[in-house]
Structure 1
Amino acid sequence: MSSSASQPEIKRVEDLWFPDATLILRAENSLFRVHSGILAARSSVFRDMIAFPQPTPTKDSGENETVDGHVVVRLHDLAGEVEVFLRAIFDSSFFMPPRSPVEFHVVIGVMRLAHKYDVQYLFQRALSHLDSMFQVQFADFLAMDWGAAKDKDHVVFQSGDITVDFSKAFRAALEVGALWLLPTAYYNIVRESDFLVQLGANCYLSPQEEKLFLAAQIKCLRAFVSTHRFMKLLPSPDCDSLQCTDTITEGHDVLKRWSDDCADMDPLGPWVFGFVDGTLCDGCEELARGKHRAAQEVFWDTLPTLFGLPTWDELRELRCKVIEETA
């Protein structure tokens, strides 16, 4: 391959360099040599690309980049995403359906390029992985244990920084039209009071997005207050337990300390009951949990519109349509 001293070093991705293949792809500074027939069978975009006559290599003309006599096809994608996308195609064990373990950045890369290059089975598989993380039903959202998700769930976060990873997810979801993934992705970002600091240079937000997120964060704080108004209704009218009175007093102190110190604004979180389990009488606990859940459901119903998105019913309908089209 002809090159000049000013060009960056080009590397071959060994596991995706098949000597008997004739299609050579380049993404950024990475080269992949793959079988065109297999790629064409999976992707209608590559099938059309390969069917189009390729330019004839011309020695020393500088017009076409060549390797081993084959013209190099340039892809305007990130090398890391092309690598995981091609691995998913050429290694059947690399990107298995849920709940097989998979790294989060792999899911995002495969989803984006499977959509771009029309590999429907991989696109649907990637969406299935994300469906387990970004729910459209409140009961499923409550069942998700984010503490366990960081270390034990089948989707592994590469950096361990969920806020940054979720920012990558919403960018990809916007690109592929998977809008139903966005409400919970957005929510898990803005519930962190310092999300702009956490994102830093890792994710660019437009001024409009930044304004939208900050406005949503204020609404999260108001919703947090609303979901804990049940504290004012305790003890229940038929309660005469001194233990309930002590627990309720402690609860008010905890909420006060939270407002002073806590960095999270999480109206959909269950943490408030961590200090009341087993300490309230049945009547007080039933009243508290019922009012808390009812206020959470009200907030959940408004969550998409908080970010300028369609309603949950519309998003669920969109999800069904996309899933059916890719099935």
Structure 2
Amino acid sequence: MKETISLSAPQEISVPVDDLWFDDGNLILQAEKSLFKIYSGLLAARSSVFRDMLAFPPPAEGNATLDGCPIVTVYDSAKDMNYFLKAVFDTSFFEPPPTPTELPIVEGVLRLSLKYDVSYLHRRALQHLLSTFPMTLSAWKNRENDRTIPPVDNTPFAAFRIARQFDLVWLLPSILYCVSSHPFEKTLDGATWGKEKEQELISLSWLDKRMCILGRQRIVMFQSRNSVSLMKSSTAPVEGCNGETCVGTRQRCADILGQWDMAGMLDYFEDNHDIWYSGFCSACRTAFKETCASECDSMWTELPEMFGLPSWEVLEDLRKKAFE
């Protein structure tokens, strides 16, 4: 670790960031109390904003300097600037999917890539969000294999905040479905987010709470209707059924679905594999799989409307514009 450095006044103590302190760098950026010694040419080549900023002549009184390098103060959090500069200068730090990353990194890179106009990093951040909160049912079904942001507790609430802050409406259906799969109290009272020493409470606005509550209610009603349908079908055997436990298994599957007070339909078939596979004969397994697939497709189609959002077609157009 580099030593701390006092700049201009005794109380202003700054700390060089080891990973972003290049001895032959020619520009020092200061964000809060962190110093980054970097290469101005490479930064300017990546960012039109920095290119224009660095093209301006220095003020008459001159910039503060350290070891002959000008110091430029930026009014961003040190955490965000750290992530952003690592993404710029370390090609292995923030690679596109399928390379994994973390949501705070995505958020920091997204914020500063927008502010400083680094389009390839902006698109990359959106790709990571999309891998984790997809826009198609097939991508949802492969989500656990394809997602690049790990399922840390309360990730959907943090992602919801990001989608709101950056107007990423097209991500909201799958994010809100995930929110609806969490205990109801988190929507009402807030959800904790972050590492233990940095935890914060994410509280939703009243309008967002209303959106979540109404959407969750519609999802639960959809699942309840499916539960009733399964119960009715338990008395009408599937053609070709030759299993003694099929009727009871169908009733058990209906009971599980009907008891949920949170979202679960989209993963219902996969999550209850042990029950239906062992309890159904071959014909009933096929029929149950087809029923679940059809109902998942219906729910996915209706999902944006459940939360009062535009159709998938409109959201897809918004996504395309975001990636331009």
TM-score (norm 1): 0.81
* Structure 2 gap ranges (5+): 1-6, 193-199
Which residue does 2:250 correspond to in 1?
248
Q: 2:264 aligns with which of 263, 266, 283?
A: 266
Question: Relative to 1, partners in 2 of residues 1:264 and 1:316: Cα closer, same or farther, differing over 3 Å?
Answer: same
Which residue does 1:120 correspond to in 2?
119
Which residue does 2:15 correspond to in 1?
11
Asked whether the 8 Å contact 1:112–1:175 carries over to 2, the reply is: no
Which residue does 1:308 correspond to in 2?
308
Q: Distance in 2 between matches of 1:173 and 1:255?
A: 30
Q: Distance in 2 between matches of 1:225 and 1:312?
A: 24
**What aligned pairs does 1:27-66 form with structure 2 within 5 A after superposition?**
27-57=31-61
Q: Distance in 1 between matches of 2:46 and 2:238?
A: 66
Asked whether the 8 Å contact 2:223–2:257 carries over to 1, the reply is: no
Which residue does 2:96 correspond to in 1?
97
**What aligned pairs does 1:157-306 form with structure 2 within 5 A after superposition?**
160-161=152-153, 163=154, 165-193=155-183, 194-196=185-187, 197=189, 199-200=191-192, 201-232=200-231, 233-234=233-234, 235-236=236-237, 238=239, 239=241, 241-255=243-257, 258-259=259-260, 264-270=262-268, 271-306=271-306
Asked whether the 8 Å contact 1:166–1:189 carries over to 2, the reply is: yes
* Structure 1 gap ranges (5+): 59-63
Question: Relative to 1, partners in 2 of residues 1:29 and 1:168: Cα closer, same or farther, differing over 3 Å?
Answer: farther
| Letter in structure 2 aligned against 1:243 | T
What SS does the aligned partner of 1:269 have? helix
What SS does the aligned partner of 2:218 have? helix
How far did 1:251 drift? 3.1
Q: Distance in 1 between matches of 2:149 and 2:159?
A: 13
Asked whether the 8 Å contact 1:226–1:295 carries over to 2, the reply is: no
* Deviation by residue 1:238-293 (Cα, 9 ceiling, x = unmatched): 4464221232343355446x44xxx7432222224441113213333333333332
Q: Distance in 1 between matches of 2:10 and 2:206?
A: 41
Q: 1:155 aligns with which of 149, 155, 160?
A: 149
* Deviation by residue 1:52-89 (Cα, 9 ceiling, x = unmatched): 2232446xxxxx76645655433332221210110111
Question: Relative to 1, partners in 2 of residues 1:298 and 1:156: Cα closer, same or farther, differing over 3 Å?
Answer: closer
Q: What is the aligned-residue RMSD (CA, Å)?
A: 2.7
Q: Distance in 1 between matches of 2:255 and 2:310?
A: 38
Q: Distance in 2 between matches of 1:4 and 1:226?
A: 69
How far did 1:186 drift? 2.0
Corresponding pairs, count: 304
* Deviation by residue 1:143-164 (Cα, 9 ceiling, x = unmatched): 223xx78xxx64345xx31x2x
Asked whether the 8 Å contact 1:55–1:71 carries over to 2, the reply is: no
Question: Relative to 1, partners in 2 of residues 1:52 and 1:298: Cα closer, same or farther, differing over 3 Å?
Answer: same
Question: Relative to 1, partners in 2 of residues 1:76 and 1:167: Cα closer, same or farther, differing over 3 Å?
Answer: farther
Asked whether the 8 Å contact 2:246–2:284 carries over to 1, the reply is: yes
Which residue does 1:317 correspond to in 2?
317
What SS does the aligned partner of 1:88 have? helix
User: After the TM superposition, which of the residue ranges 223-232 and 311-320 deviates more from structure 2?
Assistant: 223-232
What SS does the aligned partner of 1:10 have? strand
